[in-house]
Amino acid sequence: MISLAGRDILHSWGKFVLTGVGLGLLIGATLTMAGVYRGMVDDARVLLTNSGADIWVVQKDTQGPYAEASSIRDDVYRGLLGMPGVAQAANVTYLTMQVRHGDTDLRTMVVGFEPGQPGEPGYLVAGRRLLRGHFEAIADVKTGFRLGERIRIRRHDYEVVGLTRRMVSSGGDPMVFIPLKDAQEAQFLKDNDAITADRARTAANPALNRPGVPGLLDAVTASQTINHSVNAVLVKVGAGDTAANVAQEIRRWKHVQAYTREQMEEILIAKLIATSAKQIGMFLVILTVVSAAIVAFIIYTMTLGKIREIAVLKLIGTRNRTIAGMILQQALGLGLIGFIVGKISATLWAPAFPKYVLLETADAMRALVIVMVVCALASTLAIRAALKVDPATAIGG
């Protein structure tokens, strides 16, 4: 038996392919939305992996440093280093800010770290690691910075000495790594006018500028300009110890919050991007419904255009299941063309997106199954219409 669906498709392939392309672009948008979500999750995982930490120690009762603000003293790490199971502990700061690059501003996450300690970028794609204590930076390639370029963070210029890749914040902002001390200063550094005004206010405060207490005002002023806070301490656990046990000990004795990798992943994925995930989920549902409606409409219209032929086919003895099969195969064919076009489109345009779009094969396979199921369901309307056709309509009036 010849394939009626195949022949019909070949007969009007132009219309069919164009419809498939239109549907494919919609499926491509759907795949891309799923890819955006996967990209956000992957960014979060990469962020945690690249930090090189087993435990994140942050301010008590906060979910910092990525999901909430966290501030702890920069000497906490010393106490942590003395605890059993802690192999390494290092201060880090995270500050999302605009970095001046030539005539433009670029939104980045500035990370302060200590070279050789957790928090340092895991690998470089160009240049070298930080060797000097100040005014050198390593930037993610997504910033567009080049080796040797000078960028401005707050009031200081930094030379880009290294480039790294896939180092972005959970919000997708590329990272710029600078020495910890510089980053601490940058977090609280004020402009000259503000410093002068603060000093004047302090001097005018009789409690801080007491007659007969020489040096008090200078000490107070000095303390106001030095920042002894960091956002988190990254801890590496020694061999033979589990992160969960060490984190529990830290929480018990140090009056800070300590998160293991799994807990931090939970915060980033289940909480920080939860709203975005729901948003994307809604889009996916809407796009799926729209795709189904389009397939149903197209297949229904194509079937209505063949009512007389269907009546003739039924009159000359074609089984209902042959006619239903023809319509179903056309719907599935349309879905297959749509899926192929969608997958190719999504693959082509994904790199152009400002945020990382991760197109997973498993998602594509799931999408293929969903597309086929949706197309099959969408064809039922047309199949019903075809099966209702009275073969008698082929004869006379």
Binding site for other proteins (CB under 8 A): 1-2, 4, 7-8, 10-12, 308-309, 312-319, 322, 390-392, 394-397
Residue 97 or 315: which CB sits closer to other proteins? 315
CB of 392 to other proteins, least distance (A): 4
Identity of the residue, 7 or 132, whose beta carbon is nearer to other proteins in the bound complex = 7
Kind and range of the H or E element at 179?
Answer: strand 175-179
Q: 206 vs 396, which CB is nearer to other proteins?
A: 396
CB 92 within 8 A of CB 130: no
Toward other proteins, which CB reaches closer, 10 or 285? Answer: 10
Rg (alpha carbons) of the chain, rounded to whole number: 31
Q: Between residues 20 and 342, which has the closer beta carbon with respect to other proteins?
A: 20
Distance CA(141)–CA(352), nearest Å, equals: 15
Please name which of 65, 20, 30 lies closest in space to residue 335, comparing C-alpha atoms. Answer: 20
Return the closest-CA partner of residue 136 out of 117, 118, 120. 120
> What's the min distance (Å) between Cβ of 318 and other proteins?
6
Closest separation in Å from C-beta 317 to other proteins: 2
- Partners of 109 in beta bridges: 96, 175
Length of the chain: 397
One-character DSSP codes across 46-95? HHHHHHT-SEEEE-TT--TTTSS---EETTHHHHHHTSTTEEEEEEEEEE
Alpha helix (H) ranges present in 52-138?
Answer: 76-81
Closest separation in Å from C-beta 267 to other proteins: 58
> Which stretch of DSSP H or E encloses residue 35?
helix 13-51
Among residues 4 and 346, whose Cβ is nearest to other proteins?
4
Those residues whose C-beta lies under 8 Å from the C-beta of residue 286, and which sit 6 or more positions away, are: none
**Residue (7 or 134) nearer to other proteins, CB:** 7
CB of 16 to other proteins, least distance (A): 11
- Minimum Å distance from CB 22 to other proteins? 21
Smallest gap, in angstroms, from Cβ of residue 396 to other proteins? 3
DSSP-assigned letters across all residues of 163-178? EESS-B-TTSPBEEEE
